[in-house]
Amino acid sequence: MHRTHTCGELTLADLGKTVVLSGWVQKSRDLGGMTFIDVRDRYGVTQLVFDTADDETLRSKARELGREYVIKVTGRVIERESKNPKLATGEIEIKVSSLDVLNAAKLPPFTIEDDTDGGDDLRMKYRYLDLRRNPVRNNLVLRHRLAQETRKYLDLQHFLEVETPVLIKSTPEGARDFVVPSRMNPGEFYALPQSPQTFKQLLMVSGFDRYFQLVKCFRDEDLRADRQPEFTQIDCEMAFVEQEDILNLFEGLVKHLFKTVKGIDLGEVPRMTYDQAMRLYGSDKPDLRFGMPFVELNDILKGAGFPVFDNAELVVGINAVGCASYTRKQLDALTDFIKRPQIGATGLIYLRYNENGSLKSSADKFYGSEQLQQWAQAFGAKPGDLLLVMAGQTDKVRKQLNELRLEVAAQLGLRDKNNYAPLWVVDFPLLEWDEASGRYHAMHHPFTSPKPEDIPLLDSRPGDVRANAYDLVINGTEIGGGSIRIHDRELQSLMFKHLGFTPEEAQKQFGFLLDAFTYGAPPHGGIAFGFDRLVAIFAGIDSIRDVIAFPKNNSGKDVMIDSPAPISDEQLAELSIAVK
């Protein structure tokens, strides 16, 4: 037997017991005639004591143990002299009577501590050692807990977890597919799913009523910190529902997760239309941990002869509350920030509402004191505030000011990771114009239904058609999105037409779904949550890589197992393919 207890459970209640523990040597120190060793497992750390006075040979053996050795000890639980209140087992120690080395360990390439000295590359190569560290393991324990609670909630709501296939068919819509050559069907390929979208809709046609799945999805896109070629979704679909039903049910899921996993009462999730979100925050995923809404100033600031504003489509600003004392240097830094190529703004105008009540703007020469007053009033500003204003083409300037708003909030410490501000954004546009291809694309996906009252606009003003589509945003991150789907063959065909499909192409790619709609398809809709992102939000970290056990790097490589890798000529021949 390798153990009677874990390294995290013995307390004063166990005094006198003879126990067997197994685990890793965390650290070791000598003190007089004694050696103290912390032995670690997933559950905790327990102090072992070896005393020369009891057994000199045993104590010598203990002194030879290196860090990360795997050991098994038998001993008696005794009370500790100097207790460690930070440790669950901190009141006891084990007086060891026998010691087995189950496995020796080389010196790890980095320290197995909460703050390691290992760089990213080294930690990825030896991911199995990195996973020994508490912060990394805790993320995966959190992930486990979130997965189990998600299933528990959805099961109670009568959802059925149904596995959809991983080997499916490549479609031209959406991101790039990973493909899998078929040996049995030479020249043909499977594709890995970007989402189980059509399958979950077919399950609704089948009458499954409520479906969910925690499912791996795949996108062959160039990678960033928050993107992985394989990622996990909480994928859900319901029949006989309207948008309101879905928002309520999944608001319930998110509240359940916060309550059970973090002990946080999330309260009601506010809602905002896409238009409001863009107008007030310049983003379809506004961070609502803080206010700082946009204030539009065309009426007040245009026409005063200041060309930057006069020539702009939109003049818009935010109130950096309490920042009137910002120095010239700080203001210059903000200007530099918005001028960075990835933001691309040209300049920033400020109005300082000094503590003494005076107003001072970088555009002073164009505005009289009355206008400055109006300007300040538009923001409801108070002495001590700093108003930051930008101008330009509406869509662009909103995006730029969004970046500035987030940056200022970060500087003010308003983006606290332990504070959670969820939000439903609703009424997304159905289509968005794509400059590159010169046509409209589906903003969500081609199966999203337009609002019935907007269908007449499809021909005349397609960009104005609103969809029954919604996103759940937390702290400025989109963690879920969905829609009420089209369940009518004619409307679906019309959508494909507007997306540039010929009827033949639509039938070839999605004929099975169009056909399914003719055999009695119920109204249905659903949502999918990015599970990796959800876990990252709960963990209070930025990169999803840190919540994935074995992630890939930005080149799509797993440097631990050295994948991808060449395959043999025999394999290529069997698959009827060649490398070019």
| Least spacing, CB of residue 429 vs a copy of itself, in Å | 26
Q: Does residue 147 belong to the site contacting a copy of itself (CB under 8 A)?
A: yes
Answer for which of 192, 253, 278, 288 binds a copy of itself (CB under 8 A) is: 192
Can you tell me the distance from the alpha carbon of 230 to that of 228, in angstroms, rounded to the nearest whole number?
Answer: 5
Burial (0-12, 13-18, 19+ Cβ within 10 Å), 275: middle
The enclosing H or E element of 199 equals helix 197-205
Q: Does residue 261 belong to the site contacting a copy of itself (CB under 8 A)?
A: no
Answer for which of 30, 56, 188, 416 binds a copy of itself (CB under 8 A) is: 188
Sketch the per residue contact string, 233 through 252, with a copy of itself: x for CB under 8 A, - otherwise: -------xxx----------
Q: Is 54 annotated as a binding residue?
A: no
What is the footprint of a copy of itself within residues 317-346 (CB under 8 A)? none
Answer for which of 62, 124, 205, 300 binds a copy of itself (CB under 8 A) is: 205
What is the footprint of a copy of itself within residues 362-401 (CB under 8 A)? none
Task: Give the position of tokens 């750390």.
Answer: 45
| Least spacing, CB of residue 445 vs a copy of itself, in Å | 16
Q: Does residue 566 belong to the site contacting a copy of itself (CB under 8 A)?
A: yes
Q: Does residue 578 belong to the site contacting a copy of itself (CB under 8 A)?
A: yes
Task: Give the position of tokens 């065309």.
Answer: 298
Q: Which is nearer to a copy of itself, 398 or 552 (CB)?
A: 552
Q: Is 444 annotated as a binding residue?
A: yes
- Strand, coil or helix: 361: strand
| Least spacing, CB of residue 526 vs a copy of itself, in Å | 15
Burial (0-12, 13-18, 19+ Cβ within 10 Å), 547: buried
Q: Does residue 198 belong to the site contacting a copy of itself (CB under 8 A)?
A: yes
Closest CA relative to residue 338, chosen from 379, 386, 395, 398: 398
What is the footprint of a copy of itself within residues 1-60 (CB under 8 A)? 1-3, 6, 22-24, 40-43
Token pair, residue 318, equals 């935010």
Q: Is 500 annotated as a binding residue?
A: no
What is the footprint of a copy of itself within residues 110-129 (CB under 8 A)? 126-129
Q: Does residue 69 belong to the site contacting a copy of itself (CB under 8 A)?
A: yes
Long-range contacts of 251-255 (CB under 8 A, 24+ apart): 251/424, 252/153, 252/157, 253/150, 253/153, 253/154, 254/422, 254/472, 254/474
Closest CA relative to residue 350, chosen from 360, 365, 358, 337: 360
Answer for which of 12, 13, 15, 160 binds a copy of itself (CB under 8 A) is: 160
- Strand, coil or helix: 568: coil
Q: Where does this chain touch a copy of itself (CB under 8 A) — which range of 85-93, 165-173, 295-303, 411-419? A: 165-173
Q: Does residue 557 belong to the site contacting a copy of itself (CB under 8 A)?
A: yes
Sketch the per residue contact string, 90 through 109, with a copy of itself: x for CB under 8 A, - otherwise: ------------xxxxx-x-
| Least spacing, CB of residue 136 vs a copy of itself, in Å | 9
3-state helix/strand/coil string of 39-78: EEECCEEEEEEEECCCCHHHHHHHHCCCCCCEEEEEEEEE
Can you tell me the distance from the alpha carbon of 479 to that of 544, in angstroms, rounded to the nearest whole number?
Answer: 12
Answer for which of 110, 208, 337, 366 binds a copy of itself (CB under 8 A) is: 208
| The total number of residues written for the chain in this structure | 580
Determine how β-strand 44-51 pairs with β-strand 92-103. parallel
Q: Does residue 518 belong to the site contacting a copy of itself (CB under 8 A)?
A: yes
| Number of amino acids touching a copy of itself (CB under 8 A) | 122
Q: Is 337 annotated as a binding residue?
A: no
| Least spacing, CB of residue 427 vs a copy of itself, in Å | 20
Q: Is 328 annotated as a binding residue?
A: no
Q: Does residue 181 belong to the site contacting a copy of itself (CB under 8 A)?
A: yes
Q: Does residue 558 belong to the site contacting a copy of itself (CB under 8 A)?
A: yes
| Least spacing, CB of residue 210 vs a copy of itself, in Å | 8
Q: Is 507 annotated as a binding residue?
A: no
Token pair, residue 192, equals 């890995």
Q: How far is CA 166 from the centre of its chain?
A: 23
DSSP 109-166: SS--SSS----HHHHHHTHHHHTTSHHHHHHHHHHHHHHHHHHHHHHHTT-EE-PPPS
Q: Is 454 annotated as a binding residue?
A: no
Answer for which of 29, 86, 329, 580 binds a copy of itself (CB under 8 A) is: 580
3-state helix/strand/coil string of 362-419: CCHHHCCHHHHHHHHHHCCCCCCCEEEEEEECHHHHHHHHHHHHHHHHHHCCCCCCCC
Does the N-terminal peptide bond of residue 446 adopt cis geometry, omega within 30 degrees of 0?
A: no
Q: Which is nearer to a copy of itself, 382 or 489 (CB)?
A: 489
| Least spacing, CB of residue 71 vs a copy of itself, in Å | 9
Sketch the per residue contact string, 465 through 494, with a copy of itself: x for CB under 8 A, - otherwise: ----------------------xx------
Torsion of CA 287, 468, 399, 349, to 10 degrees: -80
| Least spacing, CB of residue 217 vs a copy of itself, in Å | 10
Q: Which is nearer to a copy of itself, 129 or 409 (CB)?
A: 129
Can you tell me the distance from the alpha carbon of 458 to that of 443, in angstroms, rounded to the nearest whole number?
Answer: 14
Q: Does residue 177 belong to the site contacting a copy of itself (CB under 8 A)?
A: yes
Q: Where does this chain touch a copy of itself (CB under 8 A) — which range of 208-216, 265-273, 346-354, 409-417? A: 208-216
| Least spacing, CB of residue 321 vs a copy of itself, in Å | 43
Can you tell me the distance from the alpha carbon of 572 to that of 338, in angstroms, rounded to the nearest whole number?
Answer: 51
Answer for which of 186, 291, 380, 540 binds a copy of itself (CB under 8 A) is: 186
| Least spacing, CB of residue 59 vs a copy of itself, in Å | 22
How many other C-beta atoms lie within 10 A of the C-beta of residue 452? 9
Q: Which is nearer to a copy of itself, 433 or 550 (CB)?
A: 550
The number of C-alpha atoms within 13 Å of 56 and in the hemisphere containing its C-beta is 0
Q: Does residue 565 belong to the site contacting a copy of itself (CB under 8 A)?
A: yes
Q: Is 533 annotated as a binding residue?
A: yes
Residues within the annotated binding site for L-aspartate? 173, 219, 444, 485
